[in-house]
Homo-oligomer: A and B are copies of this chain.
Amino acid sequence: MRRTRLDTARIRAAARMIDPVFLGTPLYRCDALEPGLGCAVSIKLETANPVRSFKGRGTELVTRLLAEDGRRAVVCASAGNLGQALAWSARGRGLDVTVVASRFATAAKLDRIRALGATLELVDGDHESARERAAALARASGIRLLEDSLDVETCEGAATIGLELAEAAPSFDAVLIALGGGALATGVGHVLKELAPHVEVICVQPSGAPAMTHSWRGRRVVTTDSAVTIADGVAGRCPIPAVLDDLLLVADDAVLVEEASIVAGMRMLLDRAGLVVEPSAALGIAAILENRDRFAGRHVVTIVCGSNVDLEAYHAWVGAAPVRRP
């Protein structure tokens, strides 16, 4: 049998290298969501930490290894969450961080990257342009390039969520995972396939940024010309072949959801669960909303992967008025 690039023993070791502030995150059944969804829903909450996303799990690992290696600098492209987490993890480890981002990235994320002391370089294009620029910077300067999802530490960090889910896995049937570059999906998926193979691993991506889902379905890399979605954290166009190979081994399905469902998911999480989330973190609820029959009567976990939003945009999405209670 083919194997992913990941190894569960290494992931267990990784969990011991990550600042505990990112580990053991809340996992709880959220009754209040259920009347609107028709299935049992548990939330795995990755936002109650200093960087408000799961990315700290990976950057803790990366920066620790870089520091042990004697490296002094690192550069990455980021839609905002990776850069923020990298800047947080690098503080106190003597590492200079440069983050390259699209100038259209979420302002709140860019503000936090700057506030955490990283150098921020903005490019005119989208996230793929930022990836190209970061790679060019790294080549020109000899600085280590961190590539989200390709660098296995980013997947191993995310995979520690899988370890935490596997402990609780007897109680649920499926997990809904936001799909962007693939670190979260391949990491969590790898662990669940190994430790809790009865759990269905379902990736969720916006219809407007479907490159990885199309690639998974076609079993070959499919790129797109554009990525048009409010879910900035998963808005890639160029899947990485090695990550797709892993995803093909661990994902049971990859589904696409409409923007309106993402907004409805964000609104439900605010109104019923009291959670402010970024669009990528509402993909799981969006998938349930669009596939009620598929999930009816089952127990589904959704990973709430980030909460870094521009509040003005957020208020415009969710509106001032709450969702009607059933």
A311 touches B (CB below 8 Å): yes
Per-position 1/0 for A294-326, Cβ under 8 A of B: 000000000000011101100100001110010
Contacts of A52 in B (CB 8 A): 273-274
Residue of A24, A274, A315 contacting most chain B CB atoms (<10 Å): A274
Known: A274-B307, A274-B308. A30 touches B50 (CB 8 A): yes
For the complex formed, measure the closest distance between the CB of A87 and the CB atoms of chain B, giving whole angstroms.
11
Range for the number of chain A residues in contact with chain B:
35 or more
Complex CA–CA separation, A27 to B35 (angstroms): 31
User: Any chain B CB within 8 A of the CB of A212?
Assistant: no
Nearest CB of B to A86, in Å: 15
**Closest chain B CB from A24 CB (angstroms):** 6
A237 lies within 8 A of chain B by Cβ? no
Q: How many copies does the complex hold?
A: 2
Residues in B whose Cβ lies below 8 Å from that of A24? 24
Q: Check B50 against A29 for contact (C-beta < 8 Å).
A: yes
Is A21 engaged at the interface, CB distance under 8 Å to the other chain? yes
Pairwise interchain contact B49-A28, C-beta atoms closer than 8 A: yes
Minimal Cβ-Cβ distance residue in B for A322: B311
- Among residues of B, the one whose C-beta sits closest to the C-beta of A19 is B28
Q: Please tell me which one of the listed residues B29, B43, B47, B320 contacts residue A274 in the complex, with CB atoms under 8 A apart.
A: B47
Bound-state CA distance A52–B27 (Å) is 13
Which residues, 24 to 60 on A, are CB-close (under 8 Å) to B? Answer: 24-32, 35, 43, 45, 47-50, 52
For A49, give the chain B residue with the smallest CB separation: B28
**Closest beta carbon of chain B to A230's beta carbon, Å:** 16
A180: min CB distance to chain B, Å:
20
**Which positions 5-34 of chain A face chain B at CB distance < 8 Å?**
21, 24-32
Given the known inter-chain contacts A45-B48, A115-B32, please indicate yes or no for A315 contacting B320, CB distance below 8 A: yes
Q: Min CB distance, A201 to chain B, in Å? A: 23
Q: Are B25 and A26 in contact (CB under 8 A)?
A: yes
Asked if A151 is at the interface (CB within 8 A of a chain B CB), the reply is no
Instruction: Please measure, in the bound complex, the distance between the C-alpha atom of A18 and the C-alpha atom of B309, giving whole angstroms.
Output: 34
Which of A21, A35, A112, A271 gathers the greatest number of chain B CB atoms within 10 Å? A21
Instruction: Give the residues in chain B near A25, CB-CB below 8 Å.
Output: 26
A116 at interface by CB-CB < 8 Å: yes
Per the bound structure, the CA–CA distance linking A47 and B28 in Å amounts to 11
Q: Can you list 10 A-B contacts (CB < 8 A)?
A: A21-B28, A28-B48, A31-B50, A31-B116, A45-B48, A47-B274, A52-B274, A274-B276, A274-B307, A320-B320
* Further pairs besides A32-B112, A320-B320: 15, Cβ < 8 Å: A26-B26, A26-B48, A26-B49, A28-B48, A28-B49, A31-B115, A31-B116, A35-B115, A45-B48, A47-B274, A111-B325, A270-B276, A275-B276, A276-B276, A312-B322
Which 8 A-B residue pairs are closest in the complex by CB-CB distance? A311-B322, A26-B48, A274-B307, A274-B276, A21-B28, A45-B48, A315-B320, A28-B49
